[in-house]
Amino acid sequence: MRGHAEIAGAGFAGLTVATALARLGWSVRVHERAPEPRADGAGIFLWENGLRVLAELGLERTVLARSHSAAAWEDRDERGAQIGLRPFPLPGDLRMVTMIRQDLHAPLLEAARGAGVSVETGSRVVGADPDGALLTDDGARWPADVAIGADGIGSHVRDSLGLLRERTQFEAIRIIRFTVPLSRAPGSSGQWRNYVDHWNLGARRRVLYVPCNADDLYLMLAAGSEDAPAVAHPLDAGVWCASFPLLEPVLRKLPAAPHTDRYDTVRVDAWSRGRGAIVGDAAHAMPPTIGQGAGTAMTNALALAGALDRAPDRDAIAAALVAWEQSERAETDATQATSVARLETLFPRAGERRDSWGSQPLRAASR
């Protein structure tokens, strides 16, 4: 059918389903609370499944042109000794690439607008009703054939539809994310162009080193929440340089107030109620331990557009949403379960080597 969709959230999930529906002939409006849609949070890993969604939307080449594809993922201890090596390409020629988040978000936004999606900025969604309407904080009701909550981890659409089962925060670890110029790296080949997880096992601190393109280096620092010197505001570069002396050239100057996070997980009873649906982090936020949050969000968002388009008429939409969940949920739950389980073994044990991805990350990537 060719219907009308109201979508909350111009993130990776919202823009994917919006563009796909608009290209299928639907009229689509996206409500974004921010004055201008954009993606914060420094860099991002995108696996094969996310790249396949981009290919489907005709955006793969644009995004890859401003991305980085490393020869290997390495793990190194605080002295720089290699404790793991996972070369690319992955088995089955599966790819994993990195980019600055904005370099993924901007082409998605442009594609949505190009497909005729209307993006209402500064429009804050406060809920949805299962008859297929979004509600905004100015008291307006936006009726549609389907109302979609792609409004992220704190989704009001999800909560107003009564779908939330549990939201858990992993309090033990604090994450700090930012970018620095890649030119600060001490070398321009080998490990300086690989993705390298640096572990200080004694201090229980981590620096994930991620080149994202020719110019930008994404650094993700992690430490225990109780590790006050490491998580202090403003960040103390000396503390991190002392733990990772080999990274001193890139850690010497740190942003005072970078993006900080904890690992969150969202579990829901269902992905829809009536003609209201949720997609992306709203439905299945997961810790980024296998880098699948956005990829899974985009994969499910594309599948959602297909399921809606196959509904013969408005009366069949609720059933189409149930069928969509039935086809995508088991894999999504398995990906989320692996992501959560990996939190328990985040830091390598003494003497452990990390030379394989394990089966679920590769399975998730090949969706």
Q: Which residues bind ligand FAD (CB under 6 A)?
A: 8-14, 31-34, 37, 44-45, 124-125, 150-152, 156, 175, 177, 261, 280-281, 288, 291-295, 297
Cis peptide leading into residue 143 (ω within 30°): no
Cis peptide leading into residue 234 (ω within 30°): yes
Residues 6+ positions from 336 with CB-CB distance below 8 Å? 265, 267, 284, 286, 296
The nearer residue to ligand FAD, 44 or 59, going by C-beta atoms, is: 44
Count of all residues that appear for the chain in the document: 367
The nearer residue to ligand FAD, 244 or 263, going by C-beta atoms, is: 263
CB of 81 to ligand FAD, least distance (A): 25
CB of 42 to ligand FAD, least distance (A): 8
Q: Which of 335, 321, 349, 301 is nearest to 201 (CA)?
A: 349
What SS3 class is residue 315? helix
Residues 6+ positions from 255 with CB-CB distance below 8 Å? 178, 235
CA 347 to chain centre: 21
The nearer residue to ligand FAD, 115 or 286, going by C-beta atoms, is: 286
The nearer residue to ligand FAD, 182 or 285, going by C-beta atoms, is: 285
The nearer residue to ligand FAD, 152 or 361, going by C-beta atoms, is: 152
Give exposure, 205-229, as e/b (b: 16+ Cβ within 10 Å): bbbbbbbbbeebbbbbbbbbeebee
Q: How many CA atoms lie within 13 A of 114 on its CB side?
A: 11
CB of 259 to ligand FAD, least distance (A): 8
The nearer residue to ligand FAD, 8 or 308, going by C-beta atoms, is: 8
CB of 315 to ligand FAD, least distance (A): 28
CB of 125 to ligand FAD, least distance (A): 4
Give exposure, 317-343, as e/b (b: 16+ Cβ within 10 Å): bbebbeebbeebbebbeebbebbbebe
Q: Which of 164, 107, 177 is nearest to 285 (CA)?
A: 164
The nearer residue to ligand FAD, 113 or 314, going by C-beta atoms, is: 113
CB of 267 to ligand FAD, least distance (A): 15
CB of 350 to ligand FAD, least distance (A): 26
Report how far residue 60's alpha carbon sits from residue 121's, in angstroms, rounded to the nearest whole number: 26
